[in-house]
Each structure stands twice: as structure tokens, then as C-alpha cells.
Structure 1
Amino acid sequence: MSKVIETTVYRLDELSDAAKDKARAWCREGGFDYDWYETVYEDFQRIAEILGLDLKTRPVRLMGGGTRQEPCIWFRGFWSQGDGACFEARLSYHKGAPRLIREYAPQDTELHRIADVLQAIQKRNFYQLRAEASHRGHYYHEYCMAISVERDSPNWQDMTADAEETVIEALRDFARWLYRQLEREYDYLSSDAVVDETILANEYMFAETGRRFG
């Protein structure tokens, strides 16, 4: 014989502090099952273009059976020592990069520094340096990028002694910059304020203990 059981449910703002924490933990657990990093990737791609980087792409299968090209960017985070970000790209000189990066991101001094470093080393090599970064291994951080550097000189001139190390470190610094942006975005989206907004906007209800109802 069926029975009707009544229970009292609560909005987030009606819960105790401990119950709110439990409700937020439930929301965070499934709250990142989407491409939350897309805006960071889009920003990264624009900055890469300014710096003279042509990001490689890879085919990704779609639900309908087709494919699309996505940039070769990877990351893992944000809790383990080996976490980080990396990318695959080809680098060539881009005229005016230091000025353009300051126009695009006027407050980001790390990007300014990377652009300045690449500009200076290109100048010492008559703007003929080329580089290629490829992912290697099973992890995703700046040291998983195999980076080769060469000078495309019509007179077969060697690159300066500091060119290879300077370019490699600049590209790794750019990967570190990307990881920090991803970490910052993740921290923002998982903050109490944003999680509370999500819960309230979706009108989720909870038991008194903070367990999701329904």
C-alpha cells in the first residue's frame, strides 16, 4: 500500500552554515562538467597570436559523428605537484608584439616581459628565429613541451649563443602564465559567492542537513 511522506525542504539561505557547506560541496562536485575553461583558452589564443605563435590544432569528434579542430592546449590541475599547462605551436617573429600586447593586456606585466624577451632575442638574431613546441609524455606542464629553436638565415648564420635557452624559457613562462589564469578562473567559479548564485538561480532545494533534495 502506497504512502504519502511529507518532508520539509530548504533554500540555501535557510540552511545552517554547516549545511550550506555541504550543499556547496554537492554543487562543486558536479559543477565543472562543462568546458568552463573556454574563455581562458580564447584569451590565450589571442595572446599567442600577438606573440607570434601559431597554435597547432587536433581533430575532436563531435556527438553527431563529425569532427572539429581544437587548439593543442592541455592542462591538469589544481592540486598536485605535477599539475600545469602546455601547448603545441610554431613561433615566428611578429612585428610590434610588445606594443600590441600592452594594448591588449595593459595591466599584465608578465605578458609584457615575455613579449619584450622574445622581441630582444629576435632583434639579436635579425628577426630570423623560428621555434616549434610539441607535447611529450603523459603529463601536462611546461616541461612536457619539447621545444626546438632554429635560425632561418639565408646566409646560414648560426643563432646567438643565448637564443635557444631564451626562447625555450619564454615559451615555458607562457605555459606557466596560462596555468595561473586557469587556476584563477577555477578558484573564481568554485568560490562560495559564485556557487551560491548557481544554486539560487537553479532553485535547488535541500534537506536540513544540506543534502540535495530531488
Structure 2
Amino acid sequence: MSRIISTTVYTLDELSGSAREQARTWYREHALNDDWYQNVFDEFCGTCNILGVEINMYRVPLLSGGSRQHRCIWFSGFCHQGEGACFEGDYAYQPQAVYRIREHYPEDADLHRIADLLQTIQLHNSGQLHATIRHHGQHIHENCMAVTVERHSPSGQDMTTDSEAAVTEAMRLLARWLYDWLESEYGWQTSPAIVDDDIIDGKYTFTASGQRFG
């Protein structure tokens, strides 16, 4: 025998404090846009271009039979030790990098340090260093990037002994910089004020305990 069961639902501003926090938790886990980090990735690629790093792409097959290109950038976070970001790409010298980085990010000391480190080691090698950056292993953080450095010298001159270590340090600092930016962006997008606005805009409703209804 069929029955009609009625449930009283509430908007976010009608919930108690604890129920409202439950509703926020639901939104963060289930309704936050999966592409919240795309703007960060876009700007990161622009920053990489300034420094001389070209991010690789990979193809993801679609159910339709086609494919989609994705950047070789990965991250995990943000609640446990050992989480971070990494990327794959190729690096070559950009003589104006130290000036352009300061022009675009005048107060970002971390990026200044990365640009200065690359500039210094390139000057020791006549600007002839090239590097490949590849992810390896099962984890995702800056230490999971293998950096291979070569000197493309017409005369066959060897690179200085500290070249690979310096370029590796710069690439890993860049990955750490990206992770810090992603963590900051995620913190902002999941802050109570932003989440509340998104819930209200989405016209979501909840039970008295803060469970999503419908």
C-alpha cells in the first residue's frame, strides 16, 4: 500500500549552527566544482613559460571514442603529510626570466628565488642547459620528479658539476610553489563565506540535521 511521507526541508540560513556546518561539509565533498583548480593551472603554465618550462600534455580517452588533452600536472591534498604537486615538462634558458618574473610577481620572493637560481646556473653554463622533468613513483609531491639535465654545447663542453642539482632544486621549488597556491585557492573556495554563497545560489535544501535533501 502506497503512503505519502512528508519531510520538512530548510534553506541554509534556516539551519542551526551544527546543521549548517554539516551542510557545508556536504558541499565541500560533493558539490564543489571538479575544475576549481583550472585557473591556477592556467596561470601556473604562464609562469612556467616565463621561466622557460614547457608543461607536457597527455591524452585522455573519452567514451565517445575521441580524446581530450590534459596538462601533465598533478596534486594531492590537503590534509596529510607527504602530499604535494608535481609536473612533467621540458626546460630551456630564458634570458629575461628574472626580469619578467619580477614584473609579473613583484612581491613573490619564492618565485624570485627560483628565477635567480636558474639564471645563476645557466650563466655558469653559457645558457646551454636543457632539462627534462618527469614524474616517477606512486606518490605525488615535488620529490617525485626526476630531473635530467644536459648541456647543449656546440664544442661539447661539459656542464658544471652542480648543474643538475641546481636545476632539480629549482623545479622542485616550483612544484612546491604551485602546491602552496593550490592549497590557498582551495582554502578560499571552501571557506564558510564562499561555500554559503554557493549553497544559496544553488538553492540547495537540507533536513534539520544538515543532510542534503533531494
TM-score by length of 1: 0.94
Counterpart for residue 8 of structure 2: 8
What code does the residue aligned with 1:13 have?
D
Q: Note the alpha carbon deviations across 1:8-54, whole angstroms, 9 max, x for none.
A: 32211111101111111111120345222111110111111110011
Q: Matches of 1:33 and 1:170 in 2, distance apart? A: 31
Counterpart for residue 179 of structure 2: 179
Q: Confirm whether residue 191 of structure 1 aligns to residue 196 of structure 2.
A: no
Q: Confirm whether residue 44 of structure 1 aligns to residue 32 of structure 2.
A: no
Partner-residue secondary structure (3-state), 2:86: strand
Task: For residue 3 of structure 1, report the CA deviation from its aligned partner.
Answer: 4.0
Counterpart for residue 35 of structure 2: 35
Counterpart for residue 202 of structure 2: 202
What code does the residue aligned with 2:95 have?
K
Counterpart for residue 120 of structure 2: 120
Q: Matches of 1:205 and 1:70 in 2, distance apart? A: 35
Q: Note the alpha carbon deviations across 1:160-201, whole angstroms, 9 max, x for none.
A: 222221111011100111111111111111111111011100
Counterpart for residue 17 of structure 1: 17
Counterpart for residue 81 of structure 1: 81
Deviates more, 1:88-97 or 1:58-67: 58-67
Q: Matches of 2:64 and 2:106 in 1, distance apart? A: 41
Partner-residue secondary structure (3-state), 1:28: helix
Matches within 5 A, 1:82-121: 82-121=82-121
Matches within 5 A, 1:49-60: 49-60=49-60
What code does the residue aligned with 2:213 have?
F
Q: Matches of 1:115 and 1:178 in 2, distance apart? A: 15
What code does the residue aligned with 1:168 have?
T
Partner-residue secondary structure (3-state), 1:70: strand
Matches within 5 A, 1:130-149: 130-149=130-149
Task: For residue 122 of structure 1, report the CA deviation from its aligned partner.
Answer: 0.6
What code does the residue aligned with 2:190 have?
S
What code does the residue aligned with 1:64 have?
S
Q: Matches of 2:79 and 2:175 in 1, distance apart? A: 17
Partner-residue secondary structure (3-state), 1:210: coil
Structure 2 stretches lacking a partner, 5+ long: none
Task: For residue 69 of structure 1, report the CA deviation from its aligned partner.
Answer: 2.2
Q: Note the alpha carbon deviations across 1:37-82, whole angstroms, 9 max, x for none.
A: 1111101111111100111111112343211322211111112222
Q: Percent same amino acid at aligned positions?
A: 50
Partner-residue secondary structure (3-state), 1:134: strand
Aligned in 2, Cα 1:68/1:211: closer, same or farther, shift over 3 Å? closer
Deviates more, 1:141-150 or 1:103-112: 103-112
What code does the residue aligned with 2:60 have?
V
